[in-house]
A and B are shown apart, each in its own frame.
Chain A
Amino acid sequence: MNERDLKLEAALASQLGVDGNDYIFTTKRVFLVRINLVILKLLLEDKKKRGITVVLDRPHGYLTHLLTLHKVDQTNLLYADTVTKLSSSVPIEIQENVIYTNGPFHLDLLLNLFLDGQIDDSQTAKTDLDDIDFILIDNIATALAYNTMTSVENFLRTLRELISTKNILFVAGIDADAHKTLYWLLKRYITNEIKIEERWLHG
């Protein structure tokens, strides 16, 4: 990771987890991937946390590849991958750290994952929220492409109730200008907001 991103990580470290355990960060849409990567490095490597990343935008393999190239240890990371089954033309490979759901339009299945620990019996990966320190969503705005606002709200409400009882850090990034409606919905359920400042991106 370059110096610029290390400075961004330091800026995020000074905010994330300081006041409570639920956070949205706001930035331009184009910077979401970079900031999610930096947050994962911060949580997995520096803070030694265990967590789940819910991928709604693209198959988890891209994030795995990014983290590998940036030498971030993924031993304590579990993926809830909503995309691969939808986009893959070949049978998916069962992996111990990946739970595949049937597409990003099944937010109810994601909730089952958090409530029951797994989606179905065919997969080996399981979640136990008692063993989880954080949940990161990449990226929540994509959910709106496949679900109604009411479904997204139900998902957020249930997730909010869950994390508040388990002391789990919740992080989701959003471009507040591009997704005003969803931003206000998130603000209703998530207490803390980190506005990514331009100077953090400059390094």
Chain B
Amino acid sequence: MDEVSEKTWKNEEENEELRENEMVRVASGIPGLDDMIEGGFPFPSVVLVAGSAGTGKTTFSLQFLFAGAEQDEQGLFFTTLSEPTHWMLQYSSNFSFVKKEYFGNLIQYVDLGSMLNRPVDEILRYINEKIAETMPQRIVIDPVTIIGNIIKDDYRKFLFDLTNSLKSWQAVSLLTGEVRPGEMYPVEVSYAADSVILLSLKAEGNARRKYLEILKMRGTDHRTGAYPVSITREDGFVVLRTRF
């Protein structure tokens, strides 16, 4: 062991400071976002990405999975919409960040839609089995709020069990949530999640601009306020520097 290293671990005060910095983070894959959240999402954690239709939730989630795949991290995408795989492939393949060779390998796609009429315990067991089979480092459930529309009474318990289970699998999980009119974000999910990222549309003149705001992120000194975003085929989902 060299002298510098020896000194480092022997000093208890210095260790305390080092320990503070030892939260592992994974890069979000969203240009501009990691600078706002101390380098990336805490690992493991559950992140709610909430927004109304057209705010970029699915694009955000896919970009997060592809960024992981670029670093050999396994991704698992649960869709609750019962969309055939080729539809998602077709839509997403317009983005330059999508590498089709990752689908079926480093990014696995699972349809949860057909499971949603089953008992809650069975849905959770199915999710856990899929996670155990693939051992992903990144998980997406898109959109989780649909499950709430179907299972209603058991939804809170389901979310509590789901988020506990996701964290125990040692992964960063993104749950996307539809925001209903008059609602700021899906409250039930926000209680269970470690982080809440709000995507929104704001009318400006004749156009609607997209924004991203971090409402909470546990263990992270994150930036506050709404930041404009752009979504293009070439660059995907990007958080722009200017704050409004």
Contact = CB atoms under 8 A, between A and B. Distances in A.
Interface of A: 28-34, 37, 57-59, 62, 65-66, 69-70, 141, 144-145, 148-150, 175, 178-181, 184-185, 187-188, 198, 201-202
Contact of B8 (A57, A179, A180): A180
Nearest to A70: B132
A150 B132 contact: no
Interface of B: 1, 5-6, 8-9, 12, 15, 18-19, 22, 24, 26, 43, 71-74, 128-129, 132-133, 135, 137, 168-171
Contact of A34 (B19, B26, B135): B135
B42 to A, nearest CB: 11
Contacts of A28: 71
Contact of A181 (B18, B24, B128): B18
A181 B8 contact: yes
Contact of B43 (A29, A37, A181): A29
B72 A198 contact: yes
The 6 A-B residue pairs whose C-beta atoms are closest, nearest first, are A30-B137, A58-B168, A29-B24, A149-B15, A69-B132, A184-B5
A62 B169 contact: yes
Given A175-B24, A180-B8, A187 B132 contact: no
A65 B43 contact: no
A150 B170 contact: no
Contacts of B135: 33-34, 37, 66
Which residue of B1, B43, B129, B170 has the most chain A CB atoms within 10 A of its CB atom? Answer: B170
Contacts of B1: 184, 187-188
Contacts of B170: 30, 32-33, 57-58
B104 to A, nearest CB: 12
A187 B73 CA distance: 27
B38 to A, nearest CB: 13
A30 B18 contact: no
A83 B14 CA distance: 28
Nearest to B132: A69
A65 B12 contact: no
B144 to A, nearest CB: 21
Contacts of B128: 65
A18 to B, nearest CB: 23
